[in-house]
Amino acid sequence: MKNIYNPVFILYLLLFNNILLGQELNCTPDPNNREQIIEDNVPNSYTCYMEMKRGWTGRKLGTGMLIHPRVVLTAGHNTAYYLFSKSFPYIFSSVTNVDMYFGSIDKNNYLIKTSVKLKNKKNKFYNKGYWLKGTINKDFSIIILPDSTVYKKVGGHYKIEPISDTSQLGELITLIGSPGDKNKNEIWTESTKNFKINGNKLSYDLFTEVRNSGSPIWIKNTFGYQVIGVHSRKDYGCNASVLISQEVYDKIIEWCSSAGINL
């Protein structure tokens, strides 16, 4: 009789189980469930449409959120080194500058724009290996703003606390961000009751497009508007974000401390 506990067989079981877990949530994202933000409100004021300059590859677009008077949280792939060439010789390019439009309605209407020149481990922090398959839990980053000008203009920021289980989320979660199938600077939002926590990942049937990367997933509770996830990408027919778990929260605290900020 074969030894079924050999490492290869165990690895197969773990991978197979991971696939099944990813498919447990039944998702049919519908773009018609979204609503456009047509006048400024909270938490739109705390949300930003982003334009990133990555090396010589042109501008990339995304979404971010203010979580502290001087800290913006977004997707890791919005700020990190990115594999520009997928064949040899491999070329990586990095985000060097970002323009952020807070409280954006359209290209002519927003509360405040700020532009930041980025330097890794100075005012830009992200995880290594964020792009690898199955590593949605690593796909988050922060940008440190030079001062609190944005915060003073928008009048607040998302609250951030670690999430350990679904019971902390209530019945409804909401995404707000700038989807790629709409005009630049436009912000759209959608809510759902269909979501699931799996480790450091939060999956849901919310409809997303490119440029939604970094969109806040939020709930409203006694903290105010609390961010619970950072949208990353598609996941087994659903969409998924980095869950603000204790591990993710601690990493954000660590990065902020490195920049002299007490979150």
How many folded domains does the chain comprise?
A: 1
pLDDT above 90 (res 204): yes
Residue 119 maps to which CATH number?
2.40.10.120
pLDDT reported for residue 117: 96
Residue 17: which residues within 8 A CB-CB, separation 6 or more?
none
Can you say whether the dihedral through the CA atoms of 66, 72, 73, 79 is positive or negative?
positive
Query: Could you report the per-residue pLDDT of 52-65, keeping only the tens digit for each?
Result: 987 665 678 999 99
Closest CA to 51 of 111, 82, 97: 97
Cα pseudo-dihedral 135, 78, 244, 174, rounded to 10: -110
Chain CA centroid to CA 1, Å: 48
Q: What percent of the chain has pLDDT over 70?
A: 83
Query: Could you report the per-residue pLDDT of 139-196, keeping only the tens digit for each?
Result: 999 999 999 999 999 999 999 999 988 888 989 999 999 999 999 999 999 999 999 9
Q: If you search the block for the tokens 């999956």, which residue do you land on?
A: 203
Residue 140 sits in which domain range?
A: 30-258
Residue 138: inside a domain = yes
Residue 60: inside a domain = yes
Residue 11: inside a domain = no
Residue 5: inside a domain = no
Q: How far is CA 129 from CA 11, 61, 70, 152, 242, in A?
A: 20, 21, 26, 35, 14
DSSP classification of residue 90: P
- Please count the other Cβ atoms lying within 10 Å of the Cβ belonging to residue 3: 6
Residue 4: inside a domain = no
Strand partners, 62: 50
Token digits of residue 100: 């952020």
Residue 8: inside a domain = no
79 near 52, Cβ under 8 Å?
yes
pLDDT above 60 (res 6): no
- If you average pLDDT over every residue of the chain, what do you get? 87
Token digits of residue 136: 């949605």
- Please count the other Cβ atoms lying within 10 Å of the Cβ belonging to residue 115: 10
> Is 0.75 topped by the overall pTM?
yes
Token digits of residue 61: 């677009």
103/131: higher pLDDT: 103
Residue 183: inside a domain = yes
